[in-house]
């Protein structure tokens, strides 16, 4: 079969002729305009027909031959390859709008597909979880980074456990500042606390296992447990956080046999309760007696304002079933994607193996910078500075909330952290959050932190990334909306 005329080929001056000719010829072959077995004109004739150089045509024909679209037959010329599929001109199409036309998703994929995608909202003043980014010591950071950035051994793959010097400096920091009992070999560097929680869910839970979670609590943890198809059981709560006495009194443990419990004992997320020493000891005792893993998420405990940060649960006794996790998202900044796990020695191997399957090592250069940042004392200095800054912001916000807003709107006060939860009884807090967003302020709806029917409505306001003026304007905006 002879080829049709190529005179409808069009060339523009913005791209190389070679690329354009190759693209148009391939399209004609794939669309069936040049069916398998079609004989192409000689390179000389094709060049003359298209008014381009013969050299360009020859290069393109050679390329298409090497890709298998064309073939030369000795003494006869160049043909569209005879072994291309006959139906290449009518490839089956997938109806993307009709999910039935696609191969099936996994059960997990199907569940996710039915869940609305959490929109990534822009960072606004009061968006929870964002530190004061303008106070980050960029100069010091860059000086350290410059020292490391051309080190060849930071350019390859990281071991799955994380950069050893960082694990060493973290072990020292966690021992001195958080009372965590650990050796560097028990630390696993993760891509933020979220990867740490997902690893725990993957490695400690089977489908259908019961998991005790704080209610209200951290959505990221709930998601990781649900992804593992675990059954979420809400812990009874009091002003300090989980209520161990109520748990025992209500026979929750006997009825559910939980495999794991996720807690934020140093600063309950999002309400801010702090477990007392006796409650902590009871919790540890309870976990050991019932053979239940305790996941201690120590996400922002560096920021306590009127007393020293409360020591971690993990270090209160030896040989406890506690898996401790922390994050640099609040102490440095979230985009670093650096977190860490401290696991009992017996679990190190399985966690390192597990992480190797999940991928997601943190960049070595970043880990090296953080290690020096800690070793040279910048980290502790930065935390000290941020603690004072956040304390002043916390006091100012509390003052505004107490003086500007009428009862029964009230802050659920605890002198810690980077956010404040305020209770606003009976309000549609999702709507309120949206309205506040339209006025340029971030927040989260308190009701969205509940597993089930919310018992409190209100807002969670992150104050660390606000200026004085923004706090005043934000509370004024909230007042006008209430």
Ligand X SMILES: Cc1ncc(COP(=O)(O)O)c(C=O)c1O
Task: Give residues in contact with ligand X (CB under 6 A).
Answer: 129, 192-194, 218, 264, 269, 297, 299, 327, 329, 334, 339
**b/e per residue, 370-402, with b = 16+ CB within 10 A?**
bbbbbbeebbeebbeebeeebbebbebbeebbe
217's tokens = 């609590």
Helix (H, G, I), strand (E, B) or coil at 233: strand
Cα(216)–Cα(453) distance, rounded to whole angstroms? 10
Q: Which of 89/202 has CB closer to ligand X?
A: 202
What gap in Å lies between CA 253 and CA 376, rounded to an integer? Answer: 46
Least distance to ligand X, CB of residue 338, Å: 8
Q: Output the six-digit token pair for 261.
A: 């419990």
Task: Rank residues 297 and 302 by Cβ distance to ligand X and give the closer one.
Answer: 297
Residue spans of beta strands (DSSP E) within 372-412:
410-412
CB of 191 to ligand X, least distance (A): 7
- Smallest distance from ligand X to CB 118, Å: 13
Rounded CA-CA distance 457/462 in Å is 16
Task: Give CA–CA dist 156/324, Å, rounded.
Answer: 29
**Would strands 210-213 and 260-263 be described as parallel, antiparallel, or unpaired?**
parallel
Tell me whether residue 269 or residue 394 sits nearer to ligand X (CB atom): 269
Minimum Å distance from CB 270 to ligand X?
Answer: 8
Q: 3-state DSSP: the chain helix, strand, coil percent, rounded to 5?
A: 45, 15, 40
Task: Output the residue with the shortest Cβ distance to ligand X.
Answer: 192
First to last CA, the chain: 78
Q: How far is the CB of 352 from ligand X (least distance, A)?
A: 19
Is 277 in a helix, a strand, or coil? helix
Question: 269 vs 463, which CB is nearer to ligand X?
Answer: 269
Sole residue written with tokens 């523009």: 12
CB of 190 to ligand X, least distance (A): 8
Q: Exposed, middle or buried: residue 335 (CB in 10 Å: 0-12, 13-18, 19+)?
A: exposed
Shortest CB 212 distance to ligand X, Å: 15
Smallest gap from residue 211 Cβ to ligand X (A): 15
Distance CA 345, CA 338 (A): 21
User: Cα(184)–Cα(416) distance, rounded to whole angstroms?
Assistant: 28
In the bound state with ligand X, the residue whose beta carbon lies nearer, of 43 and 329, is 329
Separation of alpha carbons 21 and 319, rounded Å = 70
Between 169 and 329, name the residue whose CB sits nearer to ligand X: 329
DSSP letter assigned to residue 266? T
Please give the Cα distance from 265 to 276 (Å, whole number): 9
**Shortest Å distance, C-beta 397 to ligand X:** 18
Nearer to ligand X, 36 or 270 (CB): 270
Cβ-based nearer residue to ligand X, 25 or 419: 419
Structure tokens, 455: 């018992």
Q: What are phi and psi of 410, to 5 degrees?
A: -150, 145
Smallest distance from ligand X to CB 464, Å: 11
Residue 374 sits at φ, ψ, to 5 deg, of -75, -50
Nearer to ligand X, 209 or 298 (CB): 298
Complex with ligand X: residue 35 or 360, whichever CB lies closer: 360
CB 197 to ligand X: min, Å: 7
Q: Is the peptide bond before 130 cis (omega within 30 degrees of 0)?
A: no
Beta bridge partners of 205: none
- Smaller CB separation from ligand X, 137 or 334: 334
Q: Shortest distance, CB of residue 273 to ligand X, whole angstroms? A: 13
Determine the number of helices (DSSP H) and then strands (DSSP E) in the chain. Answer: 17, 15
Decide whether 129 or 272 has the Cβ nearer to ligand X: 129
């Amino acid at each position: 079969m002879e080829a049709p005329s190529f005179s409808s080929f069009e060339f523009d001056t913005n791209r190389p002729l070679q690329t354009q000719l190759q693209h148009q010829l391939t399209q004609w072959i794939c669309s069936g305009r040049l069916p398998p077995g079609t004989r192409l004109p000689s390179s000389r004739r094709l060049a003359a027909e298209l008014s381009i150089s013969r050299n360009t045509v020859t290069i393109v024909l050679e390329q298409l031959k090497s890709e298998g679209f064309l073939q030369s037959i000795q003494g006869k010329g160049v043909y569209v390859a005879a072994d291309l599929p006959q139906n290449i001109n009518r490839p089956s199409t997938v109806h993307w709008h009709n999910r039935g036309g696609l191969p099936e998703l996994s059960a997990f994929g199907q569940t996710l597909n039915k869940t609305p995608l959490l929109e990534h909202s822009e960072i606004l003043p009061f968006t929870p979880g964002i530190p004061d980014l303008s106070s980050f010591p960029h100069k010091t950071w860059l000086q350290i980074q410059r020292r490391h950035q051309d080190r060849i051994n930071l350019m390859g793959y990281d071991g799955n456990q994380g950069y050893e010097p960082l694990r060493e400096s973290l072990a020292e920091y966690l021992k001195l500042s958080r009372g965590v009992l650990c050796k560097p070999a028990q630390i696993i560097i993760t891509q933020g606390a979220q990867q740490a929680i997902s690893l725990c869910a993957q490695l400690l839970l089977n489908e259908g296992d019961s998991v005790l979670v704080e209610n209200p609590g951290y959505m990221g943890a709930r998601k990781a447990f649900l992804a593992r198809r675990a059954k979420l059981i809400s812990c009874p709560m009091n002003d300090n956080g989980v209520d161990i006495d109520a748990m025992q009194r209500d026979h929750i443990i006997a009825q559910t046999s939980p495999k794991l419990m996720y807690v934020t004992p140093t600063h309950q997320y999002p309400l801010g309760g702090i477990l007392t020493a006796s409650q902590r000891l009871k919790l540890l005792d309870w976990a050991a007696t019932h053979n239940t893993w305790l996941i201690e998420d120590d996400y922002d405990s560096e920021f306590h304002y009127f007393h020293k940060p409360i020591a971690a649960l993990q270090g209160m006794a030896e040989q406890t079933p506690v898996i401790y996790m922390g994050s640099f998202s609040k102490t440095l900044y979230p985009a670093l994607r650096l977190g860490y796990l401290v696991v009992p020695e017996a679990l190190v191997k399985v966690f390192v193996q597990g992480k190797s399957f999940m991928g997601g090592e943190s960049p070595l250069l970043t880990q090296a910078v953080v290690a020096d940042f800690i070793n040279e004392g910048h980290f502790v200095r930065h935390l000290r500075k941020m603690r004072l800054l956040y304390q002043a912001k916390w006091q100012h916000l509390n003052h505004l909330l107490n003086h500007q807003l009428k009862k029964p709107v009230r802050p659920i006060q605890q002198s810690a952290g980077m956010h404040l939860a305020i209770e606003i009884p009976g309000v549609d807090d999702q709507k309120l959050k949206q309205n506040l967003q339209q006025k340029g302020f971030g927040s989260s709806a308190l009701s969205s932190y509940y597993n089930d029917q919310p018992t409190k409505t209100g807002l969670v306001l992150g104050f660390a990334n606000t200026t004085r003026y923004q706090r005043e304007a934000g509370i004024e905006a909230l007042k006008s909306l209430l």
